[in-house]
């Protein structure tokens, strides 16, 4: 299995509080992604990174920001959490030197009350 961890694995927070989710990889892969998974919508891309300090928006980026200061870490921040951000968040990595697979982390279940 690819070395990807996410922390925390579960979190309950109140509306309006900031939340940061961490994705850590030991594979030295260039590309990292944050997706959210919701019933009826499936998985959707929030943000992605194509290198240190290089990030871009995905399909559902409103209300989220990201940072990548090291190859191994990709942080997702909810500046002011809302109930609509209750979801399961998955990090993924890929090298894309050719047509490479994406490897997914275990997920973080976030509940905003």
Partner 1 sequence: KNEVEQSPQNLTAQEGEFITINCSYSVGISALHWLQQHPGGGIVSLFMLSSGKKKHGRLIATINIQEKHSSLHITASHPRDSAVYICAVPLTGSGGGADGLTFGKGTHLIIQP
74 counts as binding partner 1 under rule CB under 8 A: no
Q: How far is the CB of 18 from partner 1 (least distance, A)?
A: 24
From the centroid of its chain, how far is CA 14?
20
| Binders in 81-100 for partner 1, by CB under 8 A | 90, 94, 96, 99-100
What are the strands, taking DSSP E only, across 14-102? 19-25, 31-38, 42-51, 54-57, 64-70, 73-78, 87-94
Cβ-proximal residues to 40 (8 Å cutoff; 6+ apart), any chain: none
Q: How far is the CB of 33 from partner 1 (least distance, A)?
A: 6
Q: Which two tokens stand for residue 105?
A: 């982390």
Identify the residue among 14, 54, 59, 79 touching partner 1 (CB under 8 A).
Answer: 59
Identify the residue among 50, 52, 83, 84 touching partner 1 (CB under 8 A).
Answer: 50
| Binders in 10-49 for partner 1, by CB under 8 A | 31, 33, 40-45, 48
């Amino acid at each position: 299995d690819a070395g990807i961890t996410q922390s925390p694995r579960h979190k309950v927070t109140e509306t309006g509080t900031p939340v940061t989710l961490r994705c850590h990889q030991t594979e030295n892969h260039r590309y990292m992604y944050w997706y959210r998974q919701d019933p009826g919508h499936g998985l959707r891309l929030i943000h992605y990174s194509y290198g240190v300090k290089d990030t871009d928006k995905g399909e559902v980026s409103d209300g989220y920001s990201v940072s990548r200061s090291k190859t191994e870490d990709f942080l997702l921040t909810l500046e002011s959490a809302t109930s609509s951000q209750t979801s399961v968040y998955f990090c993924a990595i890929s090298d894309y030197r050719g047509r490479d697979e994406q490897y997914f982390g275990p997920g973080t279940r976030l509940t905003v009350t």
